[in-house]
Structure 1
Amino acid sequence: MSPKHIVFKKISKDKSVGVYMGKRDFVDHVDSVDPVDGVLLIDPEQLKGKKAYVTLSCTFRYGGDDMDVLGIAFRREIYISIRQIYPPLQDKEQGILTKVQDKLLRKLGVNAYPFFFEFPDNLPCSVGLQPAPKDVGKHCAVEFEVKAFCAESQDAKVRKRSSVRLMIRKVQYAPENLGPAPCVETTRDFLMSDKPLHMEASLQKQTYYHGEPIKVRVKISNDSNKNVRNIIISVEQIASVVLYSNDSYMKAVATEDSGDSVDSGAKLDKVYTLLPLLANNRERLGIALDGKLKHEDTNLASSSIIKEGVLKEVLGILVSYRIVVKLIVGGIMGSSEVGVELPFQLMHPKPDTVKESELEDEVVFEEFKRTNLKGMAEDEDEGNVSTGEH
């Protein structure tokens, strides 16, 4: 039997508008991005002659909504697109519908209208920095949101109870064409030593999946007169906040302090295994995480793959990973370090997709709720908010 298709829905508190979407994750394939599509359900009696709109926005947030430093609020709308959905600007029959939209329109009836957005190719992916345990309600993140509302015009004030907001994610998956396995070597000469120390480090492949152990092969030929006292291998995550500054956070998310030694004149050839997991880094400030939805858990942020020609400054937060192999070398005159770095990618595999032609006529509706952040107030039933506020 073909798998049923889950459709996520969210209805405004006054029942005037409701949004139905077939997915919450939209894939950035580097050369193209999945379009955002869904269906807007309106209640003509509740609209009372007003128009209905849907917006797609990308926002960079830093700190709480009320945070203001030197008169500057660290909140920037990177992108916003607004569509008038009702009254429709074109006949519903003229538009090209996805399979899910077609099923929803038939199921929801005459008051349902499709909407469609194309992502620009220069937007960042959903990513955020983990706040410290005491920083309740504060976070640094790139967020995407679909918002539906009714108003006299798109620039008019909007009652919160007449609007609905849905968090979505823009994600990247591991590329199908994988690059060569990283390998690096170094030779170090020491004072008062006729021969050098040589080290080679290598990985089995360039791209690893979240939750997959990483095996690092280390080969050492110690022809020097120094002793290698210890070998430390770590996985480092580098998160560069490039939008408002050039802040860079480097965190070791997995470390193997082996205690292995290589005496003068000896050799070593050994494989070390590391497993970078969010579960081991939950209390650490500044760890970059993939965007989070609803009450689902997330993981360490995936590596950023940048389309050639796109300015990095607009990409919010860029994430990369590297293996660092460090030798602690000791001698009579004290100790020194010899190290190498192996860049690699940490990503999700591309999931198996269900072809639209295989979808059953029956769809399963699931409430679409935004994650409630600790210390963040719920939207009030009353009050007004402009369309530019989220």
Structure 2
Amino acid sequence: MPASSISTATPDAVRRNARPYLHGPETAAMAAAVEAGQYGHGPQADLFEQELAHYLGVPDVVAVSSATVGIHLALQACGVGPGTEVIVPSQTFAATIQPIVALGAAPRFIDHAPGTLCVEPQAVREAITPATRAVLPVLYGGRPVDLSAIATELRSRNIHIVEDAAQAFGSRRTDQPARTTVYSFGPIKQLTALVGGAVVPRSGQEAETLRQMRFLGITSSQTDRIRTTTYSVRGPGLRGVLPDINAAVGRVQLARFNEVAALRTALWKAYAQALHGASGVALVDAGEDAVPFNCVVRVSGRDRVHRIMRDRGIGVGVHYPPNHLQPAFAQWTRPLPVTEQAAREILSLPFHPAMTPDDARWTAGALLDALAGRSAQ
């Protein structure tokens, strides 16, 4: 569609960058969970864990209250703490970094690849120090990150991989190094439980450790605790369980996840086709194996384009300002030229399953008009 053919009327679906997508039965599932009277981790959460494991083809899944909590617990379980470092990209949400700092460790920020905004093995290798305890790759936009090229080196140094896959539920995975993977089920994720997350552990022992840690280090289950006169606290922990009400929503979402994945894929393809070959705009590649979480482009004069499109009521955004330049993490700042250049150019276009391919094509046309300095026709 020629850019000049767009109308002045902004479709309702593109007024927001993202929005929750519910199928309808979630409300009834929540009501049933409320009526059952189990508001902490209960039967719905147990079933959700089992169904997630089956869908992902893994032995076990540990549900948690958020991906942030999941990252915190996974890092702590592999020995991250004072005196250690975690290699992590700066280009991510602050939720990736705060657990590192909360554990008393140091984030060692690295650059990402320009075309994907994801880290590559060589950048990780160059950042390793004697204090490195973990690598925390971020699957930006849903794109899998493969660190198999340095797997042997990481293993020999006892460096663990903990993936921030908050944006990557459903993305296809190839054989990769042993890793712990953390998903988010927040409001606008590919699969939502309204809030929540899950950890895919590397082993049964790690699963047991995570289950203990997600409930304050207490070793016995809630069912067992109410049947006895005491319980045992054996180690560190947080209150990080996923409530049954949220698990009930997640189960409804999981049952229809393939539908959402198809909608997101079709939307991504519509954007890619509409922007193919366009001057002055580069689409950040999510890869063929991703269930896309967002649609991010790189444009010159980003702030001007952002302002023009927001003035038109189009829900563009920026995901995310780099963390190595944030005041809270200033003591770990180091030069990251690729990240800093991308930070001046990235723009997130409206992207959620309530949009249609026509909405994507309309938004692409509006973007091209903004880049050309044209007014809406």
Tell me whether the two structures share a fold, i.e. TM-score over 0.5: no
Flag the structure with higher helix content.
2
Larger radius of gyration: 1
TM range (shorter): under 0.3
TM-score (norm. length: structure 2): 0.21
Flag the structure with higher strand content.
1
TM-score (norm. length: structure 1): 0.21
Higher relative contact order (CA closer than 8 Å, sequence separation 6+): 2
